[in-house]
Amino acid sequence: MKLNKTGLYTIYLLLFVFLITGSMLFNSCKNNTTNLYKPTGDTLADGKMLAQKYCTKCHQAVQPDALTKDVWKFHTLPAMSHYLGLSTYGIDYYKKAPDTSGISLPEWQMIVAYYVKAAPTELHAANKPAPLVSDWVGFSLRKPEAPKNIAYTTLTAVDPSTNKLYTSDVITTKLYEWDANLKSRTVADLPSAALDAAFATENGVRQGIFSCVGQIMPMDFPDGRVMKVDLDSKKTNIEPSLVQSDLARPVQTIGGDFNKDGLADWVILGQGNAIGGVYLLKQNADHTFTQNTISDKAGAAQGIVGDFNNDGWPDLMVLFGRGDEGVWMFLNDQKGGFTTKVILELPPAYDCNSFQLADMNHDGKPDLVLACGYNYHNSRIFKPYHGLYIYTNEGDWKLKRSYFYPINGCTKVVAADFDGDGDIDLATVAFFADFKNNPAESFIYFEQDKPMNFKPHAIPVNKYGRWMTLEAADMNHDGKLDIVLGNYSNGFMIEDVKPSWDQHLPFIVLENHTRK
């Protein structure tokens, strides 16, 4: 019997429902029924002990004051209960429980009581180390002609060898190329919206490797693909070639010769939802690829390749922004595999989404710059710990938190010397900014005027779009890095607010005229 595409996707969906259900029942978060906790009657003490016992098997402990009472009670805790295989059947807490894969209902009720009792009614905004200044700081605005359709831009990527801009969006799923005058041509039809692009040259031909997410909403459905497009072709609607298929929401593809055989390998970050992973595509001598799993952990948001232990071999650093959040280092074992080193762990409410490595304090060691605030998981309220972080590298990747600037819903950061004064400046976008009360925080330029001291500038561009993407590149070939902001103008809202921004511009360019 021959199945059509719909039939195959139905089978995939049923399979993944089974896998998700199984992982919830049999994963490492299951209950040890021979070691039941004996309650003391103290709500706070009992709940805290049980939360430590169960919840920290999957991620760092989350303190009650991280969220409000209502969010804990009606959103976050109900969403978490199924990961513990919660069941109301077959358990008598006060006797030795029968074999069960889940937490007991009385234990769960104690955890809920603890969080609801200890949590605040509301969260208070964090203090800012410096006020936002509204000005252009030497940047000027360029924008393309706005089409009639609503903008849902998911990709703004610049090929460093040509400085050409490429964009993709959820609605058309086409790949567009933009020239120096911001005029577009359609390059290819992609199977779904691209979230990331990598660029390489094969046999003298420029190639773009595009991570096509499949499902933009977080879910475990394996229709994501990585596609290759010939960027030197002058044709329109080029037929892209498949690099890898059957992926759960691939968000980035990174190149590197990880086994030093002279052939380019690829690492794919499959963010997924409950199921995902980090995968190595090893290129074989016949130019086919063999896929190996580096990590089966879901939630990968961004990766960077580098020699992080100075042994001459390329390693991988990955930011995970869901569940057990933080930064994982996968060190090349020089035998085709990797060893794991965790350099930063954060509670799951931080919603990490983007990071950069840059020497922020001029000590010769790369520091970690982090954006936290992808605020669309199970606690959609503004959080005072969302924003821009700098962790300085004290040596051997021991990180010290050295700077924090609160930004509601901060989702991406780029680190670069934009003004040419020899130190690193920062630019951030907040896809989940407080658009009702503080829309200016949706894009902030942090000018470093002396070591680890920043002047935050709210460049007044919030009326032109709602920024999902952020890219730094020399668009006009003048030696200065410009900034490209991609507009995903509607959807994924966490507050009741009507768009006050242009819903049609696909992107804008901030042309850089700063020099010191």
> Rounded to an integer, what distance in angstroms lies between the CA atom of residue 45 and that of residue 232?
65
What is the amino acid identity at position 510?
Answer: L
Bridge partners (DSSP) of residue 329 are 317, 341
Query: What is the DSSP secondary structure assignment for residue 81, as one 8-state letter?
Result: H
Bridge partners (DSSP) of residue 284 are none
Task: Tell me how far the alpha carbon of residue 90 is from its chain's centroid.
Answer: 40
State how many domains the chain has: 1
- Whether 272 is covered by a domain: the verdict is no
105-118 vs 43-54: helix crossing angle, rounded to 10? 110
Task: Tell me how far the alpha carbon of residue 498 is from its chain's centroid.
Answer: 26
Asked if residues 169 and 190 have their Cβ atoms less than 8 Å apart, the reply is no
pLDDT, residue 234, reads 85
Q: How far is CA 360 from CA 18, 36, 53, 425, 456, in A?
A: 47, 49, 38, 9, 16
> Rounded to an integer, what distance in angstroms lies between the CA atom of residue 515 and that of residue 257?
37
Q: How far is CA 494 from CA 24, 350, 374, 451, in A?
A: 27, 16, 11, 36
- Whether 461 is covered by a domain: the verdict is no
Task: Give the sheet arrangement for strand 315-320, strand by strand.
Answer: 300-306, 315-320, 325-332, 338-346
Q: Beta strand 482-487 with 241-247: parallel, antiparallel or unpaired?
A: unpaired
Q: Measure CA of the first residue to CA of the last residue in the chain; give whole Å.
A: 70
Phi-psi region of 247 (alpha: psi -120 to 50; beta: other; left: phi over 0): beta
Each of the 516 residues of the chain gets a pLDDT tens digit; together they read 444 544 545 445 444 444 444 443 334 343 444 456 788 888 899 999 999 988 988 898 899 999 999 999 999 999 888 788 776 554 444 333 333 346 888 899 999 999 999 999 999 999 999 999 999 999 999 999 999 999 999 999 999 999 999 999 999 999 999 999 999 999 999 999 999 999 999 889 999 999 999 999 988 899 999 999 999 998 888 899 999 999 999 999 999 999 999 999 999 999 999 899 999 999 999 999 999 999 999 999 999 999 999 999 999 999 999 989 999 999 999 999 999 999 999 999 999 999 999 999 999 999 999 999 999 989 999 999 999 999 999 999 999 999 999 999 999 999 999 999 999 999 999 999 999 999 999 999 999 999 999 999 999 999 999 999 999 999 999 999 999 999 999 999 999 999 999 999 999 999 999 876
CA atoms within 13 A on the CB side of 16: 19
pLDDT, residue 333, reads 97
Query: What is the DSSP secondary structure assignment for residue 505, as one 8-state letter?
Result: -
Other beta carbons within 10 angstroms of residue 209's beta carbon come to: 22
> Rounded to an integer, what distance in angstroms lies between the CA atom of residue 246 and that of residue 421?
46
- Whether 185 is covered by a domain: the verdict is no
Rounded-to-10 torsion of CA 373, 121, 497, 76: 50
Other beta carbons within 10 angstroms of residue 333's beta carbon come to: 12
pLDDT, residue 36, reads 65
Other beta carbons within 10 angstroms of residue 353's beta carbon come to: 25
Tokens representing 372 are: 């936290």
Bridge partners (DSSP) of residue 484 are 471, 509
- Whether 413 is covered by a domain: the verdict is no
Structural domain boundaries, residue 79: 43-118
SS (H, E, C) 282-335: EECCCCCEEEEEEECCCCEEEEEEECCCCCCCCEEEEEECCCCEEEEEEEECCC
- Whether 89 is covered by a domain: the verdict is yes
pLDDT, residue 106, reads 87
> Rounded to an integer, what distance in angstroms lies between the CA atom of residue 59 and that of residue 322?
9
Residue with tokens 């060691």: 365
- Whether 105 is covered by a domain: the verdict is yes
pLDDT, residue 341, reads 97
Task: Give the sheet arrangement for strand 165-169, strand by strand.
Answer: 153-158, 165-169, 174-178, 184-189
pLDDT, residue 84, reads 83
What is the amino acid identity at position 145?
Answer: E
pLDDT, residue 388, reads 98
- Whether 129 is covered by a domain: the verdict is no
Tokens representing 114 are: 């603890």
Element (H, E) at 47: helix 43-54
- Whether 348 is covered by a domain: the verdict is no
What is the amino acid identity at position 112?
Answer: V
